[in-house]
């Protein structure tokens, strides 16, 4: 059974992440929101701290996917309760996104591609790529949410793969040291032939076409990448190179089971920041929030705050469940999508409502409320939109395949 009490080890790691958010991120949050694409040099000072947190079992943005390194404890028994890389990453990313979502996505060596490596890589690849900063390149100009529509190709030429295609909206696409690229090795085999490849930043044929100007998370660089006869070593294909039409591309899709709870955690973090700021504003305005009284007997602002807080709590619990299941080696595809859908929707609702209830303070740049409302929207979009998550949940609940329920 899931235990909602965070163990001492995770509390210590989360406290450290909160200090990073409060002392490094919050003070420069507005600075890098206004200076889009400028590299946040303050994050360089975090390198040693992040390394120390990883060595102690903590992660911030890029989870190890709950995967155990050699020498770690064996898989827990059915009566055990394990909290590993997924839970550690979740509680820490909640704290850093309480500080700033864009800066969290810019933390060196904590890219979403690291979770892809953890989910699919062989032990040898995990050893080789365990210390890289990996972004993830999936989306293309011809598709957004339908990951099976990948058209970027990978052709084996001797001991090298040759990749051709264009990827857009790649988070940390310019700053990362490596890119995890989704490409097809055989277009005639459909989705089963989609594989993920680790492409070094200096690989011949890889270039940055442009950086996107965005609504929010302006501190994070979002790049369009071109792969023009890009050559990488043969063993940079993650996992098995075999095309299994029965299995489909479940291997690469497993990545999302690890990253979607993390994106939910990002949404939970920024939503908590907005709730705390809103409560302070309401309290200063004389609004009394009474949890023992019926909502209809309270002011509209107090009743609305209680609703938002309850919605936040539901999102938080769903994310905890998805991460806990991953660490305890339980299939969590349904729960990962549920947590992502709930948290993404809740964060946009909470942050926008906070702007509304705060009045002129919420709409101005005197506070960070308006920024958080802009930052939160992407968390309802990337790693699968709200609509895609609901579709996945419906398929799992109804026992339908992607062909049967579109």
Annotated catalytic residues are 383
Distance CA 392, CA 369 (A): 32
- Asked whether the beta carbons of 362 and 370 are under 8 A apart, the reply is yes
DSSP alpha helices (H): ranges in 59-174?
Answer: 85-99, 101-104, 112-120, 123-129
- Asked whether the beta carbons of 379 and 267 are under 8 A apart, the reply is yes
- Asked whether the beta carbons of 337 and 384 are under 8 A apart, the reply is yes
Tokens 């857009």 identify what position? 168
Distance CA 220, CA 71 (A): 35
- Asked whether the beta carbons of 21 and 99 are under 8 A apart, the reply is yes
Q: Output b/e per residue, 29-61; b: 16+ Cβ within 10 A.
A: beebbeebbeebebbeebeeebeebbeebbbbb
């Amino acid at each position: 059974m899931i235990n909602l009490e965070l163990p001492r080890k995770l509390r210590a790691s989360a406290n450290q992440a909160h200090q990073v958010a409060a002392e490094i991120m919050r003070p420069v949050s507005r600075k890098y929101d206004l200076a889009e694409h400028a590299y946040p040099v303050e994050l360089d000072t975090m390198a040693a701290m992040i390394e120390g947190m990883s060595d102690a079992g903590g992660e911030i943005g890029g989870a190890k996917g709950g995967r155990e390194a050699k020498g770690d404890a064996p898989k827990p028994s059915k009566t055990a309760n394990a909290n590993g890389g997924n839970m550690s990453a979740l509680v820490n990313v909640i704290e850093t996104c309480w500080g700033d979502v864009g800066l969290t996505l810019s933390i060196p060596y904590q890219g979403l591609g690291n979770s892809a490596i953890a989910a699919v890589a062989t032990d040898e690849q995990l050893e080789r790529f365990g210390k890289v900063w990996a972004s993830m390149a999936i989306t293309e100009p011809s598709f957004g949410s339908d990951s099976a529509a990948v058209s970027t190709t990978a052709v084996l030429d001797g001991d090298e793969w040759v990749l051709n295609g264009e990827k857009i909206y790649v988070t940390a696409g310019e700053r990362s040291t490596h890119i995890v690229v989704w490409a097809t090795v055989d277009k005639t085999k459909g989705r089963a032939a989609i594989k993920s490849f680790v492409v070094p930043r200096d690989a011949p044929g890889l270039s940055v076409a442009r950086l996107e100007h965005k609504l929010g998370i302006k501190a994070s660089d979002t790049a369009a990448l071109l792969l023009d006869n890009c050559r990488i070593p043969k063993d940079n294909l993650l996992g098995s190179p075999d095309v299994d039409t029965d299995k489909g591309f479940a291997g690469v899709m497993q990545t999302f089971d690890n990253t979607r709870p993390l994106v939910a955690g990002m949404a939970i973090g920024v939503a908590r920041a907005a709730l705390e700021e809103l409560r302070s504003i309401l309290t200063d305005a004389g609004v009394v929030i009474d949890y023992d009284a019926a909502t209809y007997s309270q002011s509209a602002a107090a009743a609305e705050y209680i609703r938002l807080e309850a919605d936040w709590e539901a999102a938080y619990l769903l994310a905890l469940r998805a991460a806990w299941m991953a660490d305890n080696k339980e299939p969590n595809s349904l729960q990962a999508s549920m947590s992502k859908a709930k948290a993404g929707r809740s964060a946009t609702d909470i942050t926008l409502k906070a702007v509304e209830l705060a009045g002129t303070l919420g709409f101005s740049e005197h506070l960070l409320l308006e920024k958080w409302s802009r930052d939160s929207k992407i968390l309802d979009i990337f790693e699968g939109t709200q609509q895609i998550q609901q579709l996945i949940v419906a398929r799992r609940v109804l026992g339908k395949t992607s062909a049967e329920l579109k």
